Amino acid sequence: MSNSLFLTKDGAKIENNGAGQVYWNNQPLKIAIPADLFMKWAGVVYAEAASTNLVTQLGMGDVATEMEREGYGIAVTMFNYCEAKSKKLNKNYTLVDLLSNADYAKALVSTQYQEYQNFSGGDANRRKYAHMGCLRVLLGNHIADIQQAKSLYWDGQDLWTNAKHFKKNYGFRVTRPEHGGLYRNKNLSLVSTPALRPDVQQKGIQYVYQSVFTAGGTIFSTLTPEGFKAYGV
């Protein structure tokens, strides 16, 4: 029998009712998505999002609002990436394809991902906003400024602390000072880093990636026009 996931604004529960569906307020979602796929998606959002404790430490604003925006941001970024990849490949690139991508392997085998899947312990707020983020995408209940940003990627604290970060090697432009100041309470700053790779420099490109917004403990980015032209998604 297949497990179903029942979601409300106050929490979630799993029931082995054989349907394998996702329910919102005891009603099946009109956009059908298998419960196991939804939980895999939400599990990645949970694993990649910042904890309640970290968002509190960063002091960037109302904790609940920041976590809600971050959860939705990661969830919709994954859909944006699928859409961009579909255009590039000229064929449908789905959430199933994305969640089978090796780039997501770390999240899928992380302690945080298992914590989400086991539904035991963990960060209740983080789980709630992972669910709500995915639901917002499916129900079309978008957060306007985030939807309009059309982010394709996200990163956490490692972008601040890792001098050899992949995106820094290709060139990362911080478009607004407050983006780079997300981790200021941890005495970390992020500034624009021109491309370090010789092959990128030889193309006359300074930056392949650029920031578009921050939420929670995450910085979201997209490709620069010259980065998109040279590399695409």
**pLDDT tens digits in sequence order for the chain, 233 residues long:** 478 899 988 788 888 876 789 999 888 888 878 999 999 999 999 999 999 999 999 998 899 999 999 999 999 999 999 999 999 999 999 999 999 987 777 898 899 999 998 877 789 999 999 999 999 999 999 999 999 999 999 999 999 999 999 999 999 999 999 999 999 999 999 999 999 999 999 999 999 999 999 999 999 999 999 999 999 88
Distance CA 77, CA 87 (A): 15
Q: Print the domain residue range for 217.
A: 151-233
- Check whether residue 106 and residue 179 sit in a common domain: no
Residue 44 and residue 94 in one domain? yes
SS3 category, 120: coil
Closest by alpha carbon to 207, among 165, 173, 233, 230?
Answer: 173
Is 93 a member of any domain? yes
Yes or no: say if 220 and 73 are a contact pair by the CB < 8 Å rule.
yes
Q: What predicted TM-score, i.e. pTM, was given to this entire model?
A: 0.95
Among the candidates 125, 150, 175, a domain finishes at 150
Residues 99 and 136 in one domain: yes
CA 171 – CA 176 distance, rounded (Å): 16
* Residue 193 DSSP class: B
Q: Is residue 133 part of a domain?
A: yes
* Phi and psi at residue 213, to the nearest 5°: -170, 170
84 and 137 inside one domain:
yes
In a domain, 11, yes or no: no
> Into how many domains does the chain fold?
2
Tell whether 8 is covered by a domain: no
| 14 within a domain of the structure (yes/no) | no
Whether residue 169 is contained in a domain is answered as yes
Does residue 26 lie within any of the structural domains? no
Residue 107 lies in a domain: yes
